[in-house]
Structure 1
Amino acid sequence: MSDVVKSLSARLNPAADKSVATPTREEAEAAVRTLIRWAGDDPSREGLQDTPKRVAKAFREFYSGYGEDTSEILDKIFSEVEGYNDIVLVRDIPFYSHCEHHMVPFYGVAHVAYYPTKGVVGLSKLARLVDAYARRLQTQETMTAQIASTMEKALEPRGVAVMIEAEHMCMSMRGIQKAGAMTLTTQFTGIFKEDPAEQVRFLTLIRNGRS
């Protein structure tokens, strides 16, 4: 296995899916107080006294994806679909994530599709899969590949297509400060990768009905 393949494999199965020593809540709150002082404020003043507790609590929600076993989300497949084997698409799945480089938000929508073979999964499970990977420290490119890879392994479909559209606050509120700039990433497997016409169909279905 080449170094490039090893690197990609490791990134698609990140530390998020491995056991990591977790600091205590007290240690987390102390770290927040340090960052408040670094920002130039006084963590002991009235308006900031409870901020470390709130931030620690918020982190549990922001990064709840670390507690999700993504291999189990798509483990129930319904085979009784009356012979249906055409495309299944869930579009405009909203998500909120945090850039692993600056820990500031990026957010947008995900579109996921597949051609079933052995059956279909509940549509809400696809949204849950997106959320499980979004609620971690991420890059949009990696998140796109992770969703596609998990669907490919769990469903063994004829093909998977994933597209993510997102605005990154690390680009909007800092650095070059270009608010409104959107980043698009895609990942195709199977028939979607082999046949450009299937990619066109996927993109057309996403855009259908949009102004």
Structure 2
Amino acid sequence: MPAGNGSFPGLFFSQVARYQDRVALRHKDYGIWKRTSWKEYGAMVRLVAAGLISLGVQRGDKVSILGENRPEWLFCDLGNMSIGGVSVGVYPTSAPDQVAYVVGHSESQVLFIENEEQVDKVLQILPELQVKQVIIWDPKGLWGFSQERIIFFDEFLKRAKAYLEENPDCVDRRLAEIQPEDTAMIIYTSGTTGRPKGAMLSHHNILSMTESYLLANPGYDT
């Protein structure tokens, strides 16, 4: 299993280079299955990474992600990890105060959210959040919506593209700095008997779990 520079995104980009036009993701959009190639996947991750750099996200900074499983979740997760950031998943069913706790406790600098439902939650707690930017994936139902600290994903990507064109090596430089023992993600417990606790996983942890899974389930072309 090629591991790039010993980081999870290092492994990812080695797979992008290896598989290129092969299908990496499939997702349903209004009942129609759509495909994303490894090349497209890699390009989106790189774009998100550049966008986060442009927002001032530094190595070790936290970025929270609030939404259901969808391609954007992966783009943002890997994009953040690719620049040495730490990804923090937030349960999409969380109440506003629970979102505020996880985002605040993790000291997240940026918050990605899925749609109007999550916007409604975030607006209730926005004054107490210290995030620099909130970014919405799905604009449906939010036509004309405007808030100083909240932008839509399409606008974020436009800014990211411009930044990447001016700084073409910015992502690769940050990727090369990642060490295997750097924290890659924080997973918060459900908190059924108290406040959620954050479990920190390093890049080495994730790669070790991946390798163990492949040994237990041989046959995957990796």
Normalising by the residue count of structure 2, what TM-score does the alignment of the two structures yield?
0.26
- Greater relative contact order (CA < 8 Å, ≥ 6 in sequence): 2
* Structure label with greater radius of gyration: 1
Normalising by the residue count of structure 1, what TM-score does the alignment of the two structures yield?
0.27
